[in-house]
Each structure stands twice: as structure tokens, then as C-alpha cells.
Amino acid sequence: MPEFKEIGSFIDRTYKVVRHDLINRFKDKKINITPEQWVILSKIGEKDMYQTDLANMSFRDKPTVSRIVDLLAKKKLVERVRDKFDGRKYHVRITPKGNNVIRKATPAVEESRKLGWTNLSQEEYETLINLLDKVFTNYTEKD
């Protein structure tokens, strides 16, 4: 059996530098959101959805998504609309101000991604994604 290094520390350090890069890019462009808020905002920008769907799509737990949506709503970037058939559910949709933030932030996100993929071939990129998906599946489909 091969010797495996602690993968968590490699993933964690990479996450931290990517997050730090995005924070700085957002700050430079005077965009008042965090990378975590970006993930949720960009998903809502693609299509209106229920808060529970956002949790599943963003791989975050429901309380975390609820807190992020609360912050985005306070900034008037999204709005919650109570479901007319099930009053316990909220539909979350983007506002015009939220769309403006997405337009302003997208180039910063693309620049950050481009930096991260520098010196990676398309094949290496696809291999990396495939390997990360396999590790994710190993943890999520155990037992």
C-alpha cells in the first residue's frame, strides 16, 4: 500500500490562498462580498432557487447558507420570497443590485481562476478535478 500524505492540509492551504486572492481582488475592485457570499450569489444569479437547493449546490450546510443569504439580503443583493404553496420554504432571487455585483465581480473571479490554473494543461486540470471528485466520493459514499 502506498504511503499517503495528509490530503486535508494540502486542500486547506490551497483553499486559503485562493480565498485570500479573491478577498484581495474584491477589495481592490471595491466589491463588498466575501468569497463564500460570491459562491451563493453566483448560484442565485444563474437561477432563482429554494434556500435548501442552495445548500445542496454549494456543499454548505443549511444554517450556513441561511446566514449568507441573510447577509446578502441585508446588502439588497438578493431577496427571499415565501413559497405560496409551502410557507416554510423561501425562494431566493437576485436583485438588480445583485446582478450588478455579479457583473463587477466576475472578471475578478476569472482572473483568480486563471492565476490558479497557470502552468496546468487542460489534461492536468481535468485530472485534478477527477481526482478531487474521487476523494469527495470516497468520503460522501462511505458506508
Which helix (H) or strand (E) segment holds residue 116: the answer is: helix 96-117
Given this model, what pLDDT does residue 49 score? 86
Q: What are phi and psi of 83, to 5 degrees?
A: -65, 130
Domain residue limits at 96: 7-140
Q: How many distinct structural domains can be found in the chain?
A: 1
pLDDT digits (tens, 9 = 90+) for 68-106: 999 999 999 999 988 788 877 888 999 999 999 999 999
Average pLDDT on 102-122 reads: 96
Question: For the domain that residue 55 is a member of, what is the CATH number?
Answer: 1.10.10.10
Tell me the helices (H) and strands (E) count for the chain, helix number first. 6, 3
Is 123 a member of any domain? yes
Beta partners for residue 126, in sequence order: none
**139 vs 105, which has greater pLDDT?**
105
- The answer to whether residue 88 sits within a structural domain is yes
Flag whether 2 is in a domain.
no
Asked whether residue 59 is domain-assigned, the answer is: yes
> CA–CA distance from 124 to each of 2, 21, 114, 120, 130 (Å)?
22, 22, 14, 6, 10
- The length of the chain, given as a count of residues: 143
pLDDT at 2: 64
Q: Is residue 56 part of a domain?
A: yes
Give domain status of residue 15, yes or no: yes
Q: 40: closest CA among 109, 87, 89, 92?
A: 92
Residue 64 has pLDDT above 60, yes or no: yes
- Domain for residue 1, yes or no? no
| Single pTM value for the model | 0.86
Angle at 90 between CA 87 and CA 91, to 5 degrees: 130
